[in-house]
Structure 1
Amino acid sequence: MTVHHPQTPQFFLTSPSPCPYLTGQAERKVFTHLVGERAPSLLDLLSQGGFRRSQNIAYRPACESCRACVSVRILVDEFRPSRSMRRILARNQDLVGRMGMPAPSSEQYSLFRRYLDDRHTHGGMSEMSVLDYAMMVEDSQVDTRLVQYRLRGPDSFFSEQSDGDLVGVALSDVMGDGMSMVYSFFEPEERSRSLGTYMILDHIERTRNLGLPYLYLGYWVNGSSKMDYKIRFQPQEHLMPKGWERYAG
């Protein structure tokens, strides 16, 4: 009989389901629970092996016939924004981003719903209720932060009470070797701002300011056009069979 130590994580495998990124492929995930005092150190360890967090679950792809999903992390100390990225930073100088504890609000959920209705009408998250959203934000036993991006008000330098409308939100974890962007969403009517790119650029700077070497972006899916944006942030490392390797594509 196998006896599991109470501190030893147990791993489980999901049943096959249609892949949301590649037509005709089936996805499976291996996952474990992040609970108790060891949750932060376990997430650090699992992130090195390509796992991602969703609430109190750490998971990674375990597909039988496909290896298109590749874990990506940006080398923040070496990163320099491209000319187009500098234009995006300049375009969003009228925004202020404030990082705090993960506390959900009705304002965030309204923005979340507008984002899903515009971008992901048929995705797995499309039916999320306000309670589901609150759990996504709050249900964490690791060091999780919420960054809210608002229009800068006349007195935003002195008080956040002066901040204007909410245009973007990022849920991120702070780990031993970097930050990990868990989920982000933004105002779909502000397309000209390129807010998705802007929030990544802002997180690169936040990670650098924390003295940490990596910003984890999750999975780049080779062959999925909606994941191509992750390749733009160079230099970066990809998790390959022999470990993390600098991407030279």
Structure 2
Amino acid sequence: MTDLSTLRFFRTPAHSCSYLEDRQASTLFVDPQATLSPELYSELSLLGFRRSGDYLYRPHCDQCSACIPARVRVSDFQPKRRHRRIRKVNDDLVVNREPARFTRELYSLYADYINQRHGDGDMYPPSEEQFTNFLTCDWADTQFHCFRQAGKLRAVAVTDQLEDGLSAVYTFFDPHLPERSLGVMALLWQIEQCRRLQLPYLYLGYWIHQCQKMSYKSQYQPLEILRSGAWKDLPDKD
């Protein structure tokens, strides 16, 4: 176990929040010069940290605590009727694990997804450099799980292996196939992958009740959230 007291952390200046209007955000991140590893990553995930590229970070805002770390408790997850329907619709998808690296095929799907779904966000416009710096990492155990239909790439779940689970880093998919609900399908598959690997948790990043783009995570119950230093169940209101 790492002595976390020896780590240095840095905080970004306040900037406009990407999720909630009229709020200022700040981010705490681990010293980039520190020796990072999957083991340290696992320890910090228990404290609500996430990975972006080679960096480990978590929100650290002065007057807001809306971003709440969340994870699915895999052993107790029961798919809802909607989830079962989405699985059936996507029965023809084949999933393969591929190296976490830039390829033209992967980037083409990524760029199409960002252009169509996030044209108003801070990830627009997409670039090859952004793809590599955001999704790949020199020290993490990162996996690209590629979903194909008759050989055609339809979705990619970028997943990090942790000691007690998988971390769902990012998912991008064909934005022209809304009837498939590919984002939901990728998340359901990652929950099942945790089961196959006998890992107890799928880490989903931050649940934000006030933000529709992030509040969807409460659909995957039981969802545990990190509050006051402890992981607790989020009540299921469905």
Q: TM-score, normalised by structure 2?
A: 0.93
Unaligned runs of 5+ in 1: 154-163
Q: Which residue of 1 aligns with 2:56?
A: 58
SS of residue in 2 equivalent to 1:218: strand
Candidates 218, 223, 235, aligned match of 1:248: 235
Deviation at 1:210, TM superposition (A): 0.7
Deviation at 1:180, TM superposition (A): 0.2
**Mapped pair 1:195 → 2:182:** yes
> 8 Å contact 1:35–1:141 — kept in the other structure?
no
Q: Which residue of 1 aligns with 2:67?
A: 69
- List aligned pairs for 1:95-174, cutoff 5 A: 95-151=93-149, 153=150, 164-174=151-161
Deviation at 1:35, TM superposition (A): 6.6
Code of the residue aligned with 1:217 in structure 2: it is: L
Q: Which residue of 2 aligns with 1:160?
A: none
Deviation at 1:55, TM superposition (A): 1.1
Q: Alignment length, in residue pairs?
A: 233
> 8 Å contact 1:36–1:141 — kept in the other structure?
no
Q: Distance in 1 between matches of 2:213 and 2:36?
A: 35
- Structure 1 stretches of 4+ moved >2 Å: 33-38, 134-140
Deviation at 1:97, TM superposition (A): 1.0
SS of residue in 2 equivalent to 1:127: coil
Candidates 166, 169, 175, aligned match of 1:182: 169
- For each residue in 1:74-110, what CA deviation from the matched residue of structure 2 results, as whole angstroms up to 9, or x when unmatched? 0111111001100000000010111132122111111
> 8 Å contact 1:114–1:187 — kept in the other structure?
yes
Q: Distance in 2 between matches of 1:81 and 1:10?
A: 41
* Percent of residue pairs bearing the same amino acid type: 38
Q: Which residue of 1 aligns with 2:202?
A: 215
Q: Distance in 2 between matches of 1:43 and 1:34?
A: 13
Q: Distance in 2 between matches of 1:20 and 1:132?
A: 17
- For each residue in 1:186-234, what CA deviation from the matched residue of structure 2 results, as whole angstroms up to 9, or x when unmatched? 0000100001110000000001111110000000112011112110000
Question: 142-151 or 30-39: which moved more?
Answer: 30-39
Deviation at 1:36, TM superposition (A): 7.1
Q: Distance in 2 between matches of 1:111 and 1:101?
A: 16
SS of residue in 1 equivalent to 2:20: coil
Q: Distance in 1 between matches of 2:35 and 2:228?
A: 30
The 3 A distance-change label for structure 1 pair 26 and 118 is same
CA RMSD of aligned residues (A): 1.7
The 3 A distance-change label for structure 1 pair 97 and 240 is same
Code of the residue aligned with 1:93 in structure 2: it is: D
Q: Distance in 2 between matches of 1:15 and 1:36?
A: 21
The 3 A distance-change label for structure 1 pair 117 and 38 is closer
